[in-house]
Structure 1
Amino acid sequence: MKSPWLLVLLVLFVSDPGGVRGHYDTRAALMADGGGGLPAVLPGSAHDISIANHLKPEAAEGDFGFSDTDAGAFFGRLTLGAPAQGPFDDWEGIVREHRASGRVAWTYRERNIVWTFFCHPVRDRCDFLAWSD
């Protein structure tokens, strides 16, 4: 297992019978299906989008790829860095593991939802976690 937090997310993913999961080839397909709860800030070129919404804790996680031509506009709408706290038991460890794997943390807030994107600067791919603030 790559890291302990991946095990925690896997357990949440498997043990959450009330959760909703989805996979979309493109952002257009995601939006046609109601958006899956993802914010409109997602790049237009977003592709290979996976999302899992969990009831306990009330959170979402997933990942997506995007074109490097959208990187500037996407990151320009986010705030550099992860929030100091999150609803997960080892939030600092989660952030540390992403940083160690070369990802950069970005935060986006929309209404009462906090989105933290962990993006790889070369691979144009982001993992994300979201929760109600």
Structure 2
Amino acid sequence: ADKELQVKVFRRVAEFAKRNRKPLLIHSRGAWAEAFEIVESVGVEDAVFHWYSGPEEVLEDILNSGYYISATPAAQYSRYHIKAVEIAPLDRMLLETDCPVVYRGVKSDPSFIVKTLEAVSAIKKVPSEEVAEKTTQNAIKLLKLPL
């Protein structure tokens, strides 16, 4: 689809999320600033910027607005993703696998969450148990899970 149509549809989805008080999971590769501007202008309450690896300035805006980023197994090797994980506090982060995406020639599966956890733990220099606990609490809060 052309960019104009993508922006129009994304805005409608963001408006739906806002109206229905649902979190928005954003795949915005290469369009981080534009996606953030739309989400912010619509007033979406809860959003996750999936596999964030964009500019630090946009990341700061995302974090200052109370939104989350997600870390993936790419935190083992992608310098831009590693930088985002370094900058983002644990209380603004979720862990994921993005399976069945292929990481360095290997098709991922749900067990790759351990790779994500270990990468974030190493980058943040925090025990993996602490990373797991905090990011799980973030997911519970974001998804409003009744626990």
TM-score by length of 2: 0.24
- Structure number with greater CO (CA < 8 Å, separation at least 6) is 1
TM-score by length of 1: 0.25
More strand by share: 1
More helix by share: 2
Report which of the two structures shows the higher radius of gyration computed on alpha carbons.
2
